Amino acid sequence: MEFEEESAVLVNMADMALLFGRILLSLLFLEEGIELASNFDNALEVMAKLGVPAPIAIATIVLQLGAGLAIALGLMTRLAAFGLGLFCLLTAMLFHTNFASHNELLHFEKDLAISGGMFALIVAGAGKLSLDMLIRRHWNTRLVA
């Protein structure tokens, strides 16, 4: 009986950790997406100077906002994490390769670390405290009834 109680606590702690991890991972993308969308013309201009065409700049904003929100809510979490994980890998390899600059090296490493977090989230999933789980439970009860 004691083991079952400890096991239940561990599951709850794991789900809480996944929730907090999802929120922390999503904040960066939501904040940046809101900032870019709020200053849309300036964002397009800055990205154009970096060689990023407008359609890709717009897709970047949509990805950051959509996938960031999806991860925070735990909705289509694995797909959103895959998109943002790939985005971070590409950002690191395309924009932060001047390793002579300590700042650029740090950005490169941070992008890789965030990508690693996203890929771990793909494996772990959103946990019980998520819309993914709520939807799954809803459909399971409908199928049983």
pLDDT tens digit sequence for 47-77: 999 999 999 999 999 999 999 999 999 999 9
Q: Is the pLDDT of residue 130 over 50?
A: yes
Angle between helices 102-124 and 2-38 (to 10 degrees): 130
Tell me, what's the pLDDT at 4?
Answer: 47
Look over the chain and give the mean of its residue pLDDT values, rounded to a whole number: 91
Angle between helices 54-73 and 40-49 (to 10 degrees): 120
Q: Is the pLDDT of residue 26 over 70?
A: yes
Burial class (CB in 10 A: 0-12, 13-18, 19+), 9: exposed
Instruction: Give the C-alpha distances (Å, rounded to integers) separating 90 from 9, 72, 78, 137.
Output: 38, 22, 18, 35
pLDDT band at 140 (very low <50, low <70, confident <90, very high): confident
